[in-house]
């Protein structure tokens, strides 16, 4: 009997401590949320001269996040995992790998976080007032004109009509699989910010020296620049995302001079 009492006393003493230890271990094992990482920032020109194009990598923690607003439109693409996304207290939706989400300028970003068991990594393209990070420091009312998802054309992943000071433009996301070689020279009617998902890309503008852009790296063309080289490196076929701000309804191709 004494042995049994001793055993039960030991269990009572050790079991809560075990739970605490396991809980602490689980918390320490949980991945910490990484700070946003700015991948690229470029000052825009022409009618967009008051803005910067910004590309950010995010790894949101599990949960619903903190409500906030942005001072420019946001177009996101999920690279890994799953993210919970909602604006203006609308029902949250789950956005998976290869899918996109969009916030118009001033929208209330009411839900944003990784889904438990599927930590998300994503990139976000923003058009923000020059020199800012895009976080609204004061209430930015959403435009009374509702941003729309326009009908997609071949090769387009997403297209959204912008509002407010950008009402003359669409934001556009393309997925490209360029052939090996230098491609055909061309120009665009809006700025282009690209991100290589896979492989290696040969890239140059205005006949400058060609550079090799690898997975996770970016490239940029200002409005009207001559895109003189664009093609996959032999043996390393590229897959790339291209974010563009284009005149409303256009495909971004500038007419030949």
In CATH, what number is assigned to the domain containing residue 94? 2.60.120.10
Question: Does the structure show a pLDDT above 50 at 166?
Answer: yes
Q: Give CA–CA dist 145/74, Å, rounded.
A: 16
Q: Which domain holds residue 118?
A: 34-135
pLDDT value at position 144?
Answer: 41
Q: Are residues 70 and 18 in the same domain?
A: no
DSSP label at residue 47 = G
Q: How far apart, in Å, are the Cα atoms of 168 and each of 86, 102, 130, 147, 157?
A: 26, 18, 18, 12, 20
Same domain, 77 and 127: yes
Amino acid 254: pLDDT: 73
Looking at 74, 108, 135, the residue that finishes a domain is 135
Looking at residues 56-69, what average pLDDT do you find? 93
Please write the tens of the pLDDT for every residue from 131-165: 998 777 554 444 444 444 556 666 799 999 999 99
Antiparallel, parallel or unpaired: β 51-59 and 109-114: unpaired
Asked, for residue 78, whether it belongs to a domain, the answer is yes
205 within a domain of the structure (yes/no)? no
Of residues 2 and 200, the one with the higher pLDDT is 200
What is the pLDDT at residue 8? 43
**100-133 b/e with 16+ CB inside 10 Å = b?**
bbbbbbbbbbbbbbbbeeebbbbbbbbbbeeebb
Q: Same structural domain for residues 9 and 59? A: no
Whether 106 is covered by a domain: the verdict is: yes
Question: What's residue 225's pLDDT?
Answer: 94
Same domain for 5 and 93, yes or no, is no
* Confidence (pLDDT) at 21: 39
> Residue range 107-111: average pLDDT?
93
Residue located via tokens 């075990």? 18
What is the number of domains present in the chain? 2
Please name which of 35, 36, 54, 34 lies closest in space to residue 44, comparing C-alpha atoms: 54
Q: Where is the domain boundary, 135, 151, 180?
A: 135
Three-state secondary-structure class, residue 190: coil
| Domain limit, last residue, from 119, 135, 151 | 135
Report whether pLDDT(11) > 60.
Answer: no
Residue corresponding to tokens 């177009």? 75
Mean pLDDT of 99-126: 96
Tell whether 100 is covered by a domain. yes
State whether 39 and 124 are in the same domain: yes
Q: Is residue 182 a part of any domain in this protein?
A: no
85, 98: one domain: yes
Residue 122 in domain: yes
Q: In angstroms, rounded to a whole number, what is the distance separating the alpha carbons of residues 225 and 190?
A: 9
Six token digits for residue 7? 């055993």
Secondary structure of residue 2 in the 3-state scheme: helix
């Amino acid at each position: 009997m004494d042995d049994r009492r001793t055993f039960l006393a030991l269990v009572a003493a050790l079991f809560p401590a075990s739970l605490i230890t396991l809980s602490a271990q689980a918390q320490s094992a949980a991945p910490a949320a990484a700070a946003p990482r700015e991948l690229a920032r470029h000052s825009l020109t022409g009618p967009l001269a008051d803005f910067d194009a910004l590309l950010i990598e995010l790894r949101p923690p599990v949960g619903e996040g903190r409500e906030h607003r942005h001072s420019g439109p946001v177009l996101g693409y999920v690279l890994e995992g799953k993210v919970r996304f909602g604006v203006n207290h609308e029902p949250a939706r789950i956005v998976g790998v290869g899918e996109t989400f969009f916030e118009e300028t001033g929208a209330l970003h009411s839900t944003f976080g990784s889904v438990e068991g599927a930590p998300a990594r994503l990139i976000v393209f923003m058009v923000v007032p020059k020199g800012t990070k895009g976080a609204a420091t004061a209430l930015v009312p959403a435009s009374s004109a509702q941003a729309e998802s326009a009908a997609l054309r071949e090769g387009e992943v997403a297209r959204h009509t912008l509002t407010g000071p950008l009402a003359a433009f669409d934001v556009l996301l393309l997925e490209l699989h360029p052939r090996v070689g230098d491609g055909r020279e061309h120009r665009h009617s809006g700025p282009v910010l690209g991100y290589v998902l896979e492989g290696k890309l040969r890239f140059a503008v205005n006949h400058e020296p060609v550079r090799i852009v690898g997975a996770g790296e970016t490239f940029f063309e200002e409005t009207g620049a001559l895109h003189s080289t664009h093609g996959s490196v032999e043996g390393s076929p590229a897959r790339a995302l291209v974010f563009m701000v284009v005149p409303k309804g256009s495909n971004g191709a500038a007419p030949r001079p």
